[in-house]
Chains A and B, each alone.
Chain A
């Protein structure tokens, strides 16, 4: 009985303190609010996707704001960018399966390199998205709908290998635009995001050069990766990449 009474007292005390911190204007003594309870109150109100809630003051974000970064906009751009990488990985799987015949065999491994490296781009940037306070949408349909690039659908005339190459090229070019926006927004202001985005950009630019070479015979420096999905620039980025 005594234990129950103590437990009830503590519970009421916590509820009172949370209420006091959530509605400081109603409390004349709000200046005396316990900082820890303020933390609990903020956590209580925070992102429902995150059970432990937001930390009141993230210095890494404060620095970005002081540098003039619009964090909400950056989160949107990154979410769109990683959405494009993820959907591209999915659609490239279909495209690669349709690289058939003698001509298809010639580009199959190049498509595979681009496919795995695009997945790596997703893996490299997603941790940063969460650091910035963003999150992947709970529903993958929403994720795909807000992707920064259109779906790289298998063309109707897929037996013409050039039609597949055109889709691949367009997807890479869109990704360059998408990450270019992130680079432009973060250069000199958010070195961590910029570093990851520019590494992704470097590989996207290489992918574009491969597909331009294959379509137009324009010379390029492309030879071959050491192994499939090597990601020479983003390979050591992000905790989610497993090579």
Chain B
């Protein structure tokens, strides 16, 4: 395990995220409130590409089902639904089940961003 360069610091602006491929792994890198985060680009729920989602507070919102994960803790925070209810509570518990985001250590040094897979 070692840190790999992924991009220049100024490529990751405040409240934005980008996907990079590092050793065949899709890594989502973003910045919120000045803090960088890095996680696997696959949504833990159904594998959708998280870079297509949006940032809301400290969460990334998956575009497929609206699941929200905290990008700093990796925890599932909300199961927003674009269906008739506010959440997916009417769905079976097995369908709703989701793991947490896979987070990667990230650091910024001399104008470059590095992640550790």
Contact A151 B92 (CB under 8 A): yes
Residue contact B95 to A147, C-beta cutoff 8 Å: yes
Give the distance in Å from the alpha carbon of A151 to the alpha carbon of B97 in the complex.
14
> Which residues from A are CB-within-8-Å of B97?
145
B92 touches A145 (CB 8 A): yes
- Interface presence of A131 (CB below 8 A): no
* CB interface residues, A 149-208, toward B, < 8 Å: 150-151, 153, 155, 166, 170, 174, 177-178, 181, 184-185
Contact with A along B81-113 (1 / 0, CB 8 A): 111100010111011010000000000000000
Q: Judging by beta carbons under 8 Å apart, are A150 and B83 in contact?
A: yes
Known: A170-B83, A177-B63, A178-B64. A150 touches B88 (CB 8 A): yes
Any B CB within 8 A of the CB of A80: yes
Q: How many whole Å from B89's CB to the nearest CB in chain A?
A: 11
Which candidate, B2-10, B27-35, B45-53, is the interface stretch facing chain A? B45-53
Separation of A184 and B47 alpha carbons in the complex (Å): 13
Pick out which of these stretches binds chain B: A16-24, A70-78, A89-97, A215-223.
Answer: A70-78
Cβ of A73: which chain B residues have Cβ within 8 Å of it? 42, 47
- On whether A145 and B94 interact (CB within 8 A), knowing A166-B84, A178-B64, the answer reads yes
A148 within 8 A of B: yes
Which residues of chain A come closer than 8 Å to B75, judged between CB atoms? none
Interface band, chain A: 20 to 34
Instruction: Tell me if B65 counts as interface (CB < 8 A to partner A).
Output: yes
| Contact residues of A: prevailing secondary structure | helix
Within the complex, the shortest CB–CB distance from A188 to chain B, in Å, comes to: 14
- A68: CB under 8 A from chain B? yes
Question: Does A41 lie at the interface of the complex (its beta carbon under 8 Å from any beta carbon of B)?
Answer: no
Complex Cα distance A130/B70, Å? Answer: 35
Among A68, A155, A177, the most chain B Cβ lie within 10 Å of the Cβ of A177
Q: Quick check: A153 and B47 within 8 Å, CB to CB?
A: no
Q: CA of A181 to CA of B46 in the docked complex: distance in angstroms?
A: 10
Please state if A153 and B90 are interface contacts (CB–CB under 8 Å).
yes
The reply to whether A150 and B64 form a contact with Cβ atoms under 8 Å apart is no
A40 within 8 A of B: no
Taking a contact as CB atoms under 8 Å apart, the answer to whether A80 and B47 are in contact is yes
Of the candidates A70, A155, A174, which one forms a contact with B24 in the assembled complex, judged by CB atoms under 8 Å apart?
A70
CB distance from B22 to the nearest CB of A (A): 12
Contacts of A153 on B, CB cut-off 8 Å? 90
Q: Which residues of A contact B94 (CB under 8 A)?
A: 141, 145
- Please give, as numbers and ranges, the residues of chain A lying within 8 Å of B24 by CB-CB distance: 68, 70
A: which residues have CB within 8 A of B?
A: 68, 70, 73, 76-77, 80, 141, 144-148, 150-151, 153, 155, 166, 170, 174, 177-178, 181, 184-185
Q: Can you give 19 A-B contacts (C-beta < 8 A)?
A: A68-B24, A70-B24, A76-B47, A77-B46, A144-B95, A145-B95, A145-B97, A146-B95, A147-B95, A148-B46, A150-B81, A151-B91, A153-B90, A166-B84, A170-B83, A174-B64, A178-B46, A178-B64, A181-B49
